[in-house]
């Protein structure tokens, strides 16, 4: 396609139509519905800001209107009411969108490198605070601390223990089926479908295996029927698959009734359990590769953050400071002098 033809197509093609074409193409990679919805929000959100800059309706915009100067103004408006991480995500979405337009010959080049984006500090893990908090939480749940109208301590304990001992994301937990658990007794593994449809197999030890089996037995008694392999592993008090809001409410209530709600970092619920799992792995000497595989990370940088913040890693680094060698020698000399004087 010639430059003139590309310009003509860009002039005639509505921006909102180009967005929908792009989302159809992205759908071939089988992203989750949540991912597609996030792409659409980012693209249409910034388009709304472009429309404000041009003082027109979003549906009136053409691809040719999306110049670097206009996008810089639009992103400035978009960023005014949003967190830096949201702006960076939107920038990446738009960068991919223009990559698609260039490949399709709709535009000659990608203006996004000329649009500034904020620097985002790497997110630090936020595990449950307090060395004994996981144990205190599980012991309280096992003792029936959660006084709900329709208590189900076996289910509550299974959910919290599963999160603490596998580090699963919320969506991964909600997607589990009963037959995700497989293997011989004492050698069980749980098959997880993670981000991007990637699967991983996680080992679970006998105590968690026993606890999950107790939960499934209580479920059969509660609802009067056998649990099948294709059924959701985690269900609500009516026997329906547990959903995101229900999981968050359950975890929040467990924290509150166990008396550890003040040990949960603001903005974390289920993710605090995932962070606790990973942080404890790092403290106990797991390598960054092992943590990466267990958490289902695609970037080693994400896994490295858990090692970077562990108390043991920090203490080991401080201990290696050569100045401590001088202090140790001084302390030894002082002790020797005291012993000589006493003799």
Q: Active-site residue numbers? A: 169, 195, 271, 274, 297, 306
Structure letter (DSSP) for residue 232? B
Query: Rounded CA gap, 95 and 101, in Å?
Result: 10
Least Cα distance to 75 among 52, 106, 108 occurs for 52
Query: Rounded CA gap, 274 and 264, in Å?
Result: 12
Structure letter (DSSP) for residue 187? S
List Cβ neighbours of 147 (8 Å cut-off, separation of 6 or more): 257
Query: Rounded CA gap, 273 and 275, in Å?
Result: 5
Give φ, ψ of 189 to 5 degrees: -135, 160
Least Cα distance to 170 among 266, 238, 268 occurs for 268
Query: Rounded CA gap, 330 and 121, in Å?
Result: 41
177 three-state secondary structure:
strand
């Amino acid at each position: 396609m010639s430059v003139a033809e590309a310009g003509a197509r860009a002039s005639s093609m509505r921006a909102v139509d180009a967005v929908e074409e792009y989302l159809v193409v992205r759908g071939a990679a089988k992203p989750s519905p949540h991912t597609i919805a996030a792409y659409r929000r980012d693209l249409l959100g910034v388009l709304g800001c472009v429309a404000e800059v041009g003082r027109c309706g979003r549906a009136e915009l053409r691809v040719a209107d999306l110049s670097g100067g206009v996008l810089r103004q639009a992103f400035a408006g978009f960023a005014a009411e949003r967190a830096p991480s949201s702006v960076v995500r939107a920038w990446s979405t738009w960068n991919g969108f223009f990559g698609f337009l260039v490949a399709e010959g709709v535009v000659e080049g990608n203006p996004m490198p000329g649009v500034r984006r904020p620097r985002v500090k790497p997110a630090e893990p936020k595990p449950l605070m307090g060395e004994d908090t996981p144990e205190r939480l599980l012991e309280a749940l096992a003792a029936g601390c959660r006084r709900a109208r329709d208590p189900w301590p076996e289910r509550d304990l299974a959910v919290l223990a599963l999160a603490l001992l596998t580090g699963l994301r919320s969506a991964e937990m909600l997607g589990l089926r009963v037959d995700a658990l497989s293997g011989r007794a004492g050698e069980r593994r749980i098959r997880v479908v993670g981000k991007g449809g990637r699967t991983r197999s996680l080992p679970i030890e006998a105590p968690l295996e026993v606890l999950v089996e107790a939960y499934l037995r209580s479920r059969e008694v509660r609802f009067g029927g056998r649990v099948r392999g294709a059924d959701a592993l985690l269900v609500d008090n009516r026997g329906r698959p547990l959903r995101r809001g229900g999981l968050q409410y359950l975890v929040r209530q467990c924290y509150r009734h166990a008396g550890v709600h003040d040990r949960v970092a603001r903005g974390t619920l289920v993710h605090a359990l995932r962070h606790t799992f990973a942080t404890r792995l790092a403290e106990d000497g797991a390598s960054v590769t092992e943590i990466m595989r267990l958490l289902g990370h695609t970037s080693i940088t994400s896994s490295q953050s858990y090692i970077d913040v562990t108390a043991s890693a920090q203490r080991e680094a401080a201990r290696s400071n050569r100045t401590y060698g001088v202090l140790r020698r001084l302390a030894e000399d002082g002790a020797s002098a005291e012993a000589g004087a006493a003799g």
